[in-house]
Structure 1
Amino acid sequence: MFKSCAQKITSFLALNKEIDSSEYDVYAYGFEVLISFIFNSIMIIATGILCNKIIHTIIFLTCYCPVRQFAGGYHAENYKRCSLTFLGMFLVTVFTDKYLVASISPIFLGIYTFISYAGIYSLSPVEHRNNPLNEGEKKKYKKMARLISSIIVIFILVALTKNSLHNYAFYAGSSLFWIFIMLVLGIIKNIRRV
């Protein structure tokens, strides 16, 4: 579905001479990724609205998406699995919040965040086989993943000092946790492929 839509958009732009047809594949892939991102974001935001957690959802997405872009990690074999994996991660976060966060101490949330941050700091970027990075890109991606993660950790630490913001800290921390898990799974998947 995403691939078909991307190809239609790219063909339309190539026919109208808006893009160079020799770069058709690059544009088609770019549109495919963009359409997938938009679909997944809308799906998660809709879930957040249904769960009455819209601000929490926005915090989760704002923390998750930029770090994941630079950190890399596990990628599902198709868009359906990708969407279901992302939705599953978010639903686990929402249900954990609903049933456990009130009883979790700020110290535990701080430790949870630190472990996730340390994993991102040391493991990223984890390349995807279809998108290998040169040394310059690896350095840039590592730097960006570390920088954005550091900003999120500062937000979490500030939020943990105020009782009314613990839930927001949990969602930001969960985004780092899931990225760390995706990095570990990506490394495992890359090792199995070799």
Structure 2
Amino acid sequence: MEIYRGAAERLVEIYDFDWKENERMKEACICSVEAMIANGLDSVIVFTFALLAGIFIEMLIFFVTFGMLRFYAGGAHAKNYVRCVLMYICVVCISIFITRRCIVAADIYTIIICLLSIIFSGIINYKYAARQKNLGKRGGSYRRCAFAIYLFISVFIFVSCLVYIFLNMVFFQKIVLIQAFALVAQSIALFLDREACTNE
């Protein structure tokens, strides 16, 4: 958006540096600052909405799970920041709605959702994670990080599910369901970006 671009340009100009001989570096700095402003503002909007809607904990769990894996694995992006925020809020709200419906339903739904999400996410991430053509040599290390994060999240979901089942702690049921939906959302975003991936 132009407002982000303008703010980034002003911030970069403040830095005392001879940009005339380094136009490419200046453009790279502007793009980096613009991304930081946009992502920061997006996060503020999302978490402000979460606080007002009383879903801050659920939003935080979803955000951390989704963000950690997406950072290394990659995935499709919305065409602009407004769509990104709206889509993210909608996905989280749908996940929370289904989670709360499952909490008052049978335990078997929780187990099925968790298992299916882990299997689906594992297949998609194994096939497409960090295989984008623009990653180059970094792809291998990004893939290892993405797979390690996926394994950590999957084990955490599995252990939390056992804690919920055997100790009947509803809070853990909420955690595993939100994380399961975050895995699914990340996997769908990655699948939608499959055309940008290599066939290696």
TM-score by structure 2 length? 0.81
Contact 1:117 1:153 in 2 (8 A): no
Runs ≥4 residues deviating over 6 A: 18-21
Select which of 100, 103, 116 maps to 1:111. 116
Q: How does 1:166-185 map to 2 (within 5 A)?
A: 166-185=173-192
The AA in structure 2 aligned to 1:86 is Y
Question: Of the candidates 89, 92, 99, which is equivalent to residue 90 of structure 1?
Answer: 92
Could you tell me how far apart the structure 2 residues matched to 1:116 and 1:139 are?
A: 19
Counterpart residue number, 2:17: 17
Residues 79 and 150 from structure 1, CA distance in 2 versus in 1: closer, same or farther, beyond 3 angstroms? same
Deviations along 1:13-68, whole A, 9 cap, x unmatched? Answer: 2xx23989721111111112212221222222223223322222221111111211
Residues 110 and 177 of structure 2 are in contact (CA less than 8 Å); yes or no, is this contact kept in structure 1?
no
Looking at structure 1, the residues matched to 141 and 21 of structure 2 have their Cα atoms a distance apart, in angstroms, of 30
- Deviations 1:157-178 (CA, angstroms, capped at 9, x unpaired): 1111122201111111111111
Aligned equivalent of 2:101: 99
Alignment-derived partner of residue 51 in structure 1: 53
The aligned amino acid for 1:141 is Y
Cα distance change on mapping 1:119 and 1:84 into 2, 3 Å: same
Q: Which amino acid aligns with 2:191?
A: V
Alpha carbons of structure 1 residues 45 and 152: separation in structure 2 relative to 1, 3 Å: same
Which segments of 5 or more consecutive residues in structure 2 lack a partner in the other structure?
none
TM-score after normalising by structure 1:
0.83
Between Structure 1 and Structure 2, whose CA radius of gyration is higher?
2
Instruction: Name the SS for the 2:193 alignment partner.
Output: helix
Unaligned runs of 5+ in 1: none
How many residues in Structure 1 have an aligned counterpart in Structure 2?
184
Q: Is the 8 A contact 2:113 2:177 kept in 1?
A: no
Pair 1:145-2:146 in alignment: yes
Aligned partners of 2:75 and 2:192 also within 8 Å: yes
Report the 3-state secondary structure (helix = DSSP H, G, I; strand = E; otherwise coil) of the residue aligned with 1:162.
Answer: helix
The one-letter code sitting in structure 2 at the alignment partner of 1:109 is C
CA deviations on 1:76-95 (whole Å, 9 max, x unpaired) are 22222222222222222122
Q: Deviations over 1:138-163 (max 9, x none)?
A: 11111111111111111111111122
